[in-house]
Amino acid sequence: MHRRKFIKAAAAVALQPFVLPHFSPDLTARAAVRPEPLRRVRPSDAAWPSQAEWDALARATEGRLIKVQSPLDACRADPGGQACLRLFHELKNPYYAEDDPALTQTCGWLDAWTAHPSVYGVEARSAADVAAAVNFARDRNLRLVVKGAGHSYLGTSNAPDSLLIWTHAMDQIVLHDAFVAQGCAGRQPPSPAVSVGAGAIWIHVYNEVTTKAARYVQGGGCATVGVAGLVLGGGFGSYSKNYGTAAASLLEAEIVTADGSVRIANPCINSDLFWALKGGGGGTFGVATRLTLRTHPLPKFFGFVAVTIQAASGDAFSWLVDRFVDFYAERLNNPHWGEIANVGPDNVLDIQMSFQGLTEREAQALWQPFLGWVQGRPRDFSLTAAPIIRAIPAQKRWDAAFIRAQAPWAIREDDRAGAPKENVYWSANVSEAGHFIYAYASRWLPSSLLRADQRRHLAQGLIAAARHSKVEIHFQKGLAGASEDAISRTRDSCTNPDVVDAFALAITGSEGPPAFPGLDGHQPELPVARKNAAAVGRAMAELRRLAPDAGSYVAESDYFLSNWQSSYWGQNYKRLRAIKDKYDPSGLFFVHHGVGSEDWSADGFTRLAD
């Protein structure tokens, strides 16, 4: 396997007078002599850093300090002008948002948050740059924000009046034939792995690992999601039932903690921090700068099934969902299958599932009884198109050239001049690019609902929810039926233990096109937004009745969730909070509903508890 040298980060930054010594031996003692801040500093405050101080940070980061300018300024000056129209066109290109420090992939959330650019940003290219920014923010009591690809529904990668650490340029990808974590020689067998910089996105990692090197790494389904954010939040992909969560594949992390230290975390060094990084939430325990993930042998084939079924009546739809639930429980709840079935309010069942480790013929034979039952009842059901069941060589799964030739409808291109040919994204994710969220919520569905005596209850609960708003059943985001290895490694992460007993994550939500409250001519349609949000709320009420004690996935959840600590992490929250207090005692790293965020006001500026 071809090898390249990974660029080593500098151990520390000589940024006087505000750098703390590297690798502090006693975090607790340091915190004891530093009074905790009551309120973060804003530009209007006298304590806001002087220009000379900002200049010092710029020098310490080799000129990588930037004054963040919002492209929305063009719309404020001329809402109907060509510059503004071009901007709103580009907001549907996720690569455009990723490449601008002022933008995020989501424009905002109704009554929750609105995108706001930081005042300054450090376009980090090394752990040393990150450490300089962390030290500056800590010593000057600034609100700190971290953005990689900016793919947070909950708005965690932006905040007004803040300093941004932008890891976009830290996108190195390096393959290893036999990786052993630092300090683990003799304690950990070598394994194939990939080291990834914090700014890399999954489509580029898949290109290096799968297309070029014929290996598999467990990552996300959406092509432009950032690697670091997905892993730190837990992370599911199409084949999680075979390979486990992305967090469960983490072998080692390099991370800058609140004291400015560049730390290695793995099972042998800083093992408590390592455990917290496996699903404890991005931007909470520090700034991850490099992650090393286990890679796996490729199966021969990856494949997909696409079929959309229209029921002629409510009764027929009930029979259809009942039959599909039986079919899933008996034939599909295993390591081969993942992705989505949509239960719609218009009596439509839309199935878009992925598989691995089966041939096309095996998959067709597996689905024949269900599809035959549907096609044998033409008065009750109709297909919008012929079912598609196809397998492709696994190495071609993320090969942009292959997809362009075989299924050009499946992808969209980064259409900017000079964009790399690898900059593609799935057509299925277009609605998410630049979207404004009206409402969004999720709930894990426990495997007990797949028992024979519970399946009708499950089907009717899904239909009841879908009468209000479409319900997406993400089978790959629950590990019931998964391989023993996937379950074992996921249990060794801090994701809510509910996930290993859930067969799927049920999601319901509503969104609109790019919009910004207060921006003339480009504001969200509030009557539509509130109507749809209310419908999502009613659908989620039905899902809560179906699974009253279930948790929710941190990266895809309700902004207004009240019991987020137990919902995201269950019994693991107490231990996560202790690790947070150890490595970040003053709460420098704040994200909405992140570990320790209950100590702060909703905007992360005012400390509520000493």
Query: Three-state SS for 228?
Result: helix
Q: Is residue 384 part of a domain?
A: yes
Q: What is the CB neighbour count within 10 angstroms for residue 414?
A: 19
Show the beta-strand stretches assigned E in 312-363. 337-343, 348-356
Continuous H helices in 328-379? 360-375
Tracing tokens 């390099």 back to the chain, one arrives at 254
> Within its chain, how far is the Cα of 576 from the centroid?
19
Residues 206 and 326 in one domain: no
Q: What average pLDDT does range 201-225 have in this prediction?
A: 97
Domain endpoint, select from 260, 277, 297: 297
Whether 490 contacts 479, CB under 8 Å:
yes
CA distance 145 to 121: 9
Q: Are residues 219 and 191 in the same domain?
A: yes
What mean pLDDT do residues 350-379 have? 98
**The last residue of a domain, from among 240, 275, 297:** 297
pLDDT confidence of 10, banded at 50, 70, 90? very low
Average pLDDT over residues 312-332: 98
Question: Range with the lowest mean pLDDT among 35-44, 402-411, 590-599?
Answer: 35-44
Which residue from 207, 209, 127, 210 is spatially nearest to 169, judged by alpha carbons? 127
Q: Decide: 94 and 428 in contact? Cβ < 8 Å.
A: no
Same structural domain, 364 and 378: yes
Claim to verify: residue 375 and residue 473 sit in the same structural domain: yes
pLDDT of residue 36: 53
How much is the average pLDDT of 108-116? Answer: 96
Separation CA 260–CA 45 (nearest Å):
25
pLDDT digits (tens, 9 = 90+) for 239-268: 999 999 999 999 999 999 999 999 999 999
Asked if residues 455 and 558 have their Cβ atoms less than 8 Å apart, the reply is no
Total domain count, the chain: 2
* Across 37-46, 448-457, 472-481, 575-584, least confident range: 37-46
Residue 201 sits in the same domain as residue 184: yes
3-class secondary structure, 8 = coil
Domain membership of residue 225 (yes or no) is yes
| Alpha-helix residue ranges (DSSP H) falling in 127-226 | 127-139, 202-206
- Residue 192 near residue 295, CB atoms below 8 Å: yes
The answer to whether residues 368 and 240 belong to one domain is no
pTM of the predicted structure, to 2 decimals: 0.92
Q: In this structure, are 512 and 365 located in the same domain?
A: yes
CA–CA distance from 17 to each of 132, 135, 143, 261 (Å)? 11, 10, 20, 16
The token pair that represents 20 in the structure block = 């703390």
Weakest mean pLDDT among 19-33, 326-340, 459-473, 581-595: 19-33
Closest CA to 233 of 548, 477, 488: 477
* Residue that terminates a domain, selected from 564, 583, 605: 564
Q: Find the mean pLDDT for residues 505-516.
A: 98
Full domain range(s) for residue 538: 301-393+433-564
Percentage of the chain modeled with pLDDT above 70: 94
One-letter amino acid at 489 equals R
- The total of other beta-carbon atoms located within 10 Å of residue 370's CB is 22
On whether residue 422 sits in a domain, the answer given is: no
Q: Name the helix (H) or strand (E) containing 192.
A: strand 191-197
Token digits of residue 203 = 């489509």
Query: DSSP readout, 383-439?
Result: ESS--EEEEEEGGGTT-HHHHHHH-GGGEEE--STT--TT-EEEGGGGGGTT-EEEE
In a shared domain, residues 276 and 337: no
What is the spatial distance between Cα 296 and Cα 339, in angstroms, rounded to a whole number?
20
**Assigned token pair, 50:** 């002087």
Q: How many CA atoms lie within 13 A of 509 on its CB side?
A: 25
Cβ–Cβ < 8 Å for 412, 431: no
Q: 378: which residues sit within 8 A by CB, 6+ positions away?
A: none
- pLDDT computed for residue 77 by the predictor: 94
CB 309 within 8 A of CB 226: no
* pLDDT score at 9: 37
The chain-wide mean pLDDT, for the chain, equals 93
Q: Note the pLDDT of residue 22.
A: 38
For 133-154, the pLDDT digits (tens) are: 999 999 999 999 999 999 999 9
CB of 157 closer than 8 Å to CB of 147: yes
Q: Which tops the pLDDT comparison, 565 or 12? A: 565
CATH of the domain at 320: 3.40.462.20
The confidence band for 536, taking pLDDT boundaries of 50, 70 and 90, is very high
Predicted pLDDT of residue 14: 31
What CA–CA distance (Å, rounded) separates 463 from 347?
9
What count of other Cβ atoms lies within 10 Å of the Cβ of residue 202?
25
306/280 same-domain check: no
- Domain presence at residue 197: yes
38: pLDDT confidence band, cut at 50, 70 and 90? confident
Is residue 51 included in any domain, yes or no? no
Question: How deeply is 555 buried, as exposed, middle or buried, from its count of CB atoms within 10 A (0-12, 13-18, 19+)?
Answer: buried
427-442: average pLDDT: 96
Peptide bond into 21 cis (omega under 30): no
Residue 241 within any structural domain of the chain? yes
Amino acid of residue 335: P
pLDDT for residue 347 is more than 90: yes
Helix or strand holding residue 287 (H, E): strand 287-297
Do 355 and 238 reside in the same domain of the chain? Answer: no
Q: Which residues lie below 8 Å from residue 552, measured CB to CB, with a gap of 6+? A: 441, 442, 443, 444, 558, 561, 564, 567, 568
Residues 291 and 347 in one domain: no
- Cβ atoms 12, 22 nearer than 8 A: yes
Within this chain, do residues 329 and 451 fall inside the same structural domain, yes or no?
yes
Q: What CATH number does the domain containing 208 carry?
A: 3.30.465.10
Closest residue by Cα to residue 303 from 387, 207, 208: 387
CB 159 within 8 Å of CB 603: yes
Residue that has been written with the tokens 């480790």 in this structure: 357
Return d(Cα 211, Cα 208) in angstroms, integer. 6
Is 515 contained in some domain?
Answer: yes
Helix axes 314-327, 455-466, angle to 10 degrees: 130
Residue 71 within any structural domain of the chain: no
Is the distance from CB of 190 to CB of 211 less than 8 angstroms?
Answer: no
Q: Which residues pair with 510 in a beta bridge?
A: 439
